Amino acid sequence: MIGKSALVVLSGGQDSTTCLYWAKRNFERVAALSFRYGQKHVAEVDLAHDIAREANVEWECMDLPFIADLAKDCSLTDTSLEIEEEKPADSLPSTFVPGRNLFFLSIAAIYACQKGIFDLVTGVSQTDFSGYPDCRDSFIKSLNVTINLATDRQFRIHTPLMWIDKAQTWKMADELGVMDIVRYRTLTCYNGITGDGCGHCPSCKLRQKGLEQYEQQRKRIAQGTGQED
């Protein structure tokens, strides 16, 4: 156990759902907060609700419509733009939503504070950060300091996935006993298809590649020919 209570920022995707169960393992009481911010794949919010209910954690969703208004030329929020399959070289991917994690975590901290919760959990990862600057460890550490200064509290932002890749994230879900929930009940696909997704958006490709790597690793271990990391 790390602490008494934690708030998980829950999108309804693979990473945050794995983090929800990580939090359940490490905290006595867990709450989850989701955001509706004009994302095309807004169905993830309903899935997040279902996931939270099944995990028996209190859940709330907040509307932040201004995020989509601020995000010009973002293919994740602008319905007139297509999500490209490959990230352009030397620029941020078109799916980058400016300020998303800055807003999410700042609001989550204020929300948690009202509930007497000072441990926040987010599924960001620097290893598979897809070129999003607000998924990096330096940003999270910096924001943690800023939130503490802003509130005069001692928050701790936990990032269980920061230094692991997608294959290791699958492994974590498996070890937490929620492989099927994460695989079939979450939505990571930018085109809004639950479970294994559309198969060709950048998010599906990353998720699928990680799953294949993990399954191969598991097979090698079962055959006694592989090393567990």
Residues that bind Zn ion (CB under 5 A): 189, 191, 197-198, 201, 204
d(C-alpha 192, C-alpha 215), whole Å: 24
Report the candidate in 35, 34, 31 with the shortest Cα–Cα distance to residue 57: 31
- Smaller CB separation from Zn ion, 43 or 198: 198
- Smaller CB separation from Zn ion, 140 or 201: 201
Residue 32 pairs with which residues in a beta bridge? 8, 59
Report the candidate in 3, 34, 4 with the shortest Cα–Cα distance to residue 17: 34
Q: Cβ-count burial of 46 within 10 angstroms (0-12 exposed, 13-18 middle, 19+ buried)?
A: middle
- State in angstroms the smallest separation of the CB of 1 from Zn ion: 36
- Smaller CB separation from Zn ion, 83 or 109: 83
- State in angstroms the smallest separation of the CB of 191 from Zn ion: 5
Q: Where are the beta strands (DSSP E) in the chain?
A: 3-9, 27-36, 58-63, 119-121, 156-158
- State in angstroms the smallest separation of the CB of 204 from Zn ion: 3
Contacts of 213 (CB under 8 A, 6+ apart): 165, 166, 167
- Smaller CB separation from Zn ion, 103 or 190: 190
| The 3-state secondary structure of 28-83, one letter per residue | EEEEEEEEECCCCCCHHHHHHHHHHHHCCCEEEEEECCHHHHHCCCCCCCCCCCCC
- State in angstroms the smallest separation of the CB of 50 from Zn ion: 20
- State in angstroms the smallest separation of the CB of 207 from Zn ion: 8
- State in angstroms the smallest separation of the CB of 197 from Zn ion: 4
Report the candidate in 181, 178, 208, 186 with the shortest Cα–Cα distance to residue 43: 186
- Smaller CB separation from Zn ion, 148 or 194: 194
- Smaller CB separation from Zn ion, 13 or 123: 13
